[in-house]
Amino acid sequence: MKILIINPNTTASMTAKIDLAARKTASADTAITTVNPFFGPPSIEGYYDQAFAVPGLIDQIHHNGGHADAVIIGCFDDTGLDAARCVSVGPVIGIGEAAFHMASLVSGRFSVVTTLRQSVPAIEQNLVRYGLSSRCSSVRACDVPVLELERPGSAAQERVADQISRALSEDNAEAIVLGCAGMAELAQAMSQRFRAPVLEGVSCAVQLCEGLIRLGLSTTSLGGYQRPRPKSFSGIFSSFSPA
């Protein structure tokens, strides 16, 4: 099985980190390829960045998607998921939805702990769209920039832990979803510390992709996920014209 993971921002170090998280749980016969766009925003923090991440993400599907059995979008807000589904032969999974579905299988209710407050609305909207908002107790921001998480000796981990603690005690959450790819490394430690399932999306998405591939399932071609109708895009997007 060949899984293409696209980190929709252009920061290679984050791409490497996502690649590492993916390989940890992938099956022996799964080949993971993790890439990022050639152009676009170096990080995705809100709707504006999202908009400029999608073309570069689609570009990677055009370049590398033909060889892949499935595609994973490596950003917790599932950037460009719908567009990617329209042009991919195999299934496409976002790491946000992957974590939500997996958390629903091991708990009655989960909470999401993400980085910045401005990311909360997009996550909440995704939960409503996926249908899983009734399974989510709360989406909490810990006001920690992603890079701060990686700095040795920072108080960042404790701020994440603090929100996990409050989600469990105040919101009746029974499991925790870490709402940022940069928190992936914390999952195991936090799970042990709080004696509760703590999920991160990259590894969840790898497992779900492998599952869909083995089942021979791919995105429907009905409704909104029909392939794009042929037309000529102009200007900088001319090479993206659907044939």
Closer CB to its own copies, residue 116 or residue 153? Answer: 116
- Min dist CB 225 to its own copies, Å, is 7
* Cβ-based nearer residue to its own copies, 109 or 154: 109
- Selection from 79, 99, 101, 69 nearest residue 4 by Cα: 69
Can you tell me whether residue 155 is helix, strand or coil?
A: coil
Least CB distance to its own copies at residue 109 (A): 7
Smallest distance from the beta carbon of 155 to its own copies, in angstroms?
Answer: 21
Q: Which two tokens stand for residue 91?
A: 């299934």
Give the separation between CA 49 and CA 42, rounded to whole angstroms.
9
Q: Which lies closer to its own copies via its Cβ, residue 153 or residue 240? A: 240
Q: In the 8-state DSSP scheme, what is residue 237?
A: G
Given a contact cutoff of 8 angstroms between Cβ atoms, the answer to whether 185 and 193 are in contact is no
Query: What CA–CA distance (Å, rounded) separates 121 from 119?
Result: 6
Nearer to its own copies, 156 or 200 (CB): 200
Question: Interhelix angle for 12-25 vs 201-215, to 10°?
Answer: 60
Closer residue to its own copies, CB minimum distance, 8 or 152: 8
- What is the smallest separation between the CB atom of 63 and its own copies, expressed in angstroms? 14
Give me the amino acid identity at 98: A
CB 87, min distance to its own copies, A: 6
